Structure 1
Amino acid sequence: MEKEIWYQKLNIYFVGFYLIFSICLITYYLANGQLYYATLGLGGILLLLLPAAFERVCGLVPVYQFRFLLYGFSFLAYVVGLAMQGYHFIPLYDKVMHTLSGTFGTFLGVVLFYILKHGRRVQQQDFPLVAIFSISASMAAAGLWEIGEYLVGIFFPCDPQQVALTGVSDTMQDMIVCLVGSLLWLPFLFRYYRKQKADFLMGCFRTFLSKNLSQEEPYGMEE
């Protein structure tokens, strides 16, 4: 578990950077009277609590590589994208992050599948059901995100879905590229079940399973 020790240390530095960056951002917005964006900055800090809360609710042992993925994605998608308004000022950043959210959401769907599965054993015949479940979970998360943006547009003087400019096009494009991100990762997921070859995400998944299986049911791919 040397890799886990390395990620544990990396998380300390990254979370420290994340906090300092967010506090500076909040201070800047407050100084300029932009309370809405200052509130978004505070929300980014609260996201740091989610991994530990998720582990506690599900009774999981911390996986620091998994935590780093969550912290990193939160920083790029929320802090840079929303709080820093990167979705508006960086060309194609919105579409790139929605594509990545499809891949990352599908990966989280795989993790959730085995949290719910009795025994949490990985079997080759799981692939079709895992693929359907994880892509569905990713698209459900994308739908909830768009609902959230819609509600923000109702209660705050902003238009995160760009309805005034694009109608429903921006929302539909976000959903489509999210699906593309899910499908692009599907061959790597298939390779894991067929040949037990893990990319970076499935390597993280292996670590997650090895730390959260009962001693009576050791980790391994079954036929």
Structure 2
Amino acid sequence: MNVKKIYYICFGVYVVLLGYAFYSNYTNGYMHSFMMTFVSAALLFVPQLVFKIFKLKPVYEIYIIALIFIAIASLFGSSYRFFDHYLYWDKISHAFSGVLGVLFAYILFCTLKKIHHVEKKDVPLMLIFINAVNISIAALWEQYEYICLLVADYDAINHYTSGVHDSMGDIGVCIIGGVITTLFIVQRYRSGKPNFITNVYEKFYEHNIKNRG
């Protein structure tokens, strides 16, 4: 089964779960979760929209990873209220954001250099770059949550109940997710064989960069 078919299966499962979330939240009177399900529906099309805006050919590995993150953070987290029911669901979301952060940084690094893969001499720089970008994204997100607290008194940062612990924990698990992803990238350069993580960029390169000046 190719990656495109896997993506469409995942997409179909997401749509079914989305439909049940609409039904369940509406019939049970969970109107906030019902409204958040509209957000989950809209986010479903964000990856494709980004590719359309920048006139990029689809990379279904990216679509799958983005879909998994959207399902964890939005569909299950908000629409199914996992953030309320499961103590560590927020941390799982932040850990997976670390996977996305390092993957995004790896794609950015290679795209800026217009290379298919990183040369051996640049690997140390690449490793520092991708993890620095990931940590920066995590810190900026916590700043966003802090601004929500200051401006709207919306305590997404859990300041009143945990002080700095929630923010430090979120950044910590994001770093862990990023480090795990980094290990897959390191494995690619040690073995010389691409894996699912590095294939994401290498397919992106083949489809969108290789034949552009």
Give the structure-1-normalised TM-score.
0.79
Q: Secondary structure at the match of 2:189?
A: helix
Residue type matched to 2:206 in 1?
A: S
2:68 counterpart of 1:72: yes
Aligned length: 212
Residue type matched to 1:121 in 2?
A: H
1:111–1:205 Cα contact (<8 Å) kept: yes
Gaps of 5+ in 1: 218-223
Are the structure 2 counterparts of residues 84 and 157 from structure 1 closer, same or farther at C-alpha, using a change threshold of 3 Å?
Answer: farther
Return the match for 1:143 from 134, 139, 143.
139
2:15 counterpart of 1:20: no
1:105–1:137 Cα contact (<8 Å) kept: yes
Residue 199 of structure 1: CA displacement?
3.1
**Matches of 2:134 and 2:80 in 1, distance apart?**
25
**Counterpart in 2 of 1:186?**
182
% identity of equivalent residues: 23
Q: Secondary structure at the match of 1:120?
A: coil
**Matches of 2:185 and 2:104 in 1, distance apart?**
12
Gaps of 5+ in 2: none
Q: Secondary structure at the match of 2:45?
A: helix
2:21–2:80 Cα contact (<8 Å) kept: no
2:110 counterpart of 1:109: no
Residue 15 of structure 1: CA displacement?
4.5
Are the structure 2 counterparts of residues 49 and 116 from structure 1 closer, same or farther at C-alpha, using a change threshold of 3 Å?
Answer: farther
**Matches of 1:42 and 1:216 in 2, distance apart?**
37
Q: Alignment RMSD, CA only? A: 2.8
**Counterpart in 2 of 1:221?**
none
1:13-162 to structure 2, matched below 5 A, reads 13-24=12-23, 27-28=26-27, 31-32=29-30, 34-35=31-32, 37-117=33-113, 119-124=114-119, 125-154=121-150, 158-162=154-158
Give the structure-2-normalised TM-score.
0.82
Residue 53 of structure 1: CA displacement?
2.3
**Matches of 2:123 and 2:23 in 1, distance apart?**
45
